[in-house]
Chains A and B, each alone.
Chain A
Amino acid sequence: MNTRWKPVINQKLCTGCGACIEQCPENALGQIAGKAIVLAPETCTYCAQCETLCPTRAIALPYLIMYAAPSSASDSTSR
């Protein structure tokens, strides 16, 4: 899995409350020096629970917006 795509944590906004770390169903998050960090990006399923519950909106998921690939492989030759 592409680990470039993972929750982004704004270190300035994070208060280190630990709520996201506790709630993450995949245990992807941890804490270093009083701030949340993404310890295991490869396990993150992008469920967005951390983003929803963070009281300071410090953690957020970046998305790539794109057209879905055509369902049939032959489509690339048809246009």
Chain B
Amino acid sequence: MTQADLTVLAEHLSNIPYFAPLSSGERHALAARAGFYTFAADEVIFLEGEKHSSLWIIEDGSVKIAKLSPEGSEYILHLLGPGGVFNDVAALDGGPTPANAIAMTLVTVWSLSPALVREVIERHPAVAQAAIETLTGRVRALNRQLEDLTLYPVLVRLARFLIAQAEDPSLSGPGITRAAIAGHLNTTPETISRVLAKLQDAGAIRFDRHRILITDRDMLRSIAAL
């Protein structure tokens, strides 16, 4: 590896929150022990479930981190570019790779072996602390993502329900409560409240005392997938 490569890697390492506590000399020492690889577009870097716990850092190109559903459709979790880091969870716990990593372009990447990562963590408590913070932040972000996923089907059904009600005012008659909407859509009033709030945040509807006003029909129709 050339001297220039090492400097770029050391620079990328300084941008990874958990390597930030290292001194610049320590980061250069770490960079000197990294592996360097090239992948062609569409080439698999690793597949989900492999026993492969290196930490990868992209020098150049784009990588997608994706999972396949049982039906074979792809769900992209992350798209990463230069400086992007992946497989850190496996690198930290030594477990299998959590998703597929596939090169989308010509990709050059460095990899830090699990032994190397472990060595750095054992030597530098500040790195361990920063790694914990990064990972817990990600757990929280995943929780939010999961919440959105479980709310999504309700969002679609509620959007359809609101359109149907607005199209035919006789349906609403004496008014409809959140509990009644929940009954129609087979969910809870609390969920209806949260999804209504999401629709309001998005600008599709607006509450005006006892009225739920559809302020953006096109948006609501597209949410309803109509």
Residues of A within 8 A of B (CB): 1-2, 5, 8, 45-46, 48, 51-52, 57, 60-68
Residue in B closest to A52 when the chains form the complex, CB atoms: B193
Residue contact A65 to B172, C-beta cutoff 8 Å:
yes
Residue contact B169 to A62, C-beta cutoff 8 Å:
no
Instruction: Give which listed residue, A5, A61, A66, A68, contacts B178 with CB less than 8 A.
Output: A61
Residue contact B206 to A64, C-beta cutoff 8 Å:
no
B126 contacts the other chain (CB 8 A):
no
Expressed in whole angstroms, the minimum distance between the Cβ of A11 and any Cβ of chain B is: 15
Residue contact A67 to B217, C-beta cutoff 8 Å:
yes
- Complex interface residues of chain B between 91 and 131 (CB less than 8 A to chain A): none
Residue contact B179 to A65, C-beta cutoff 8 Å:
no
Q: Determine the distance from Cα of A48 to Cα of B212 in the docked complex, in whole angstroms.
A: 13
Expressed in whole angstroms, the minimum distance between the Cβ of B42 and any Cβ of chain A is: 47
Q: A8-B177, A57-B179, A68-B215 are in contact. Are A63 and B210 (CB under 8 A)?
A: yes
Residues on B with C-beta less than 8 A from A64 are: 169, 172, 175, 210-212
Most buried by B among A2, A57, A64: A64
Further 8 A-B residue pairs, CB within 8 A, beyond A63-B178, A68-B214: A5-B175, A48-B193, A52-B193, A62-B176, A62-B177, A63-B176, A64-B210, A66-B172
Residue in B closest to A46 when the chains form the complex, CB atoms: B209
Residue contact A67 to B210, C-beta cutoff 8 Å:
no
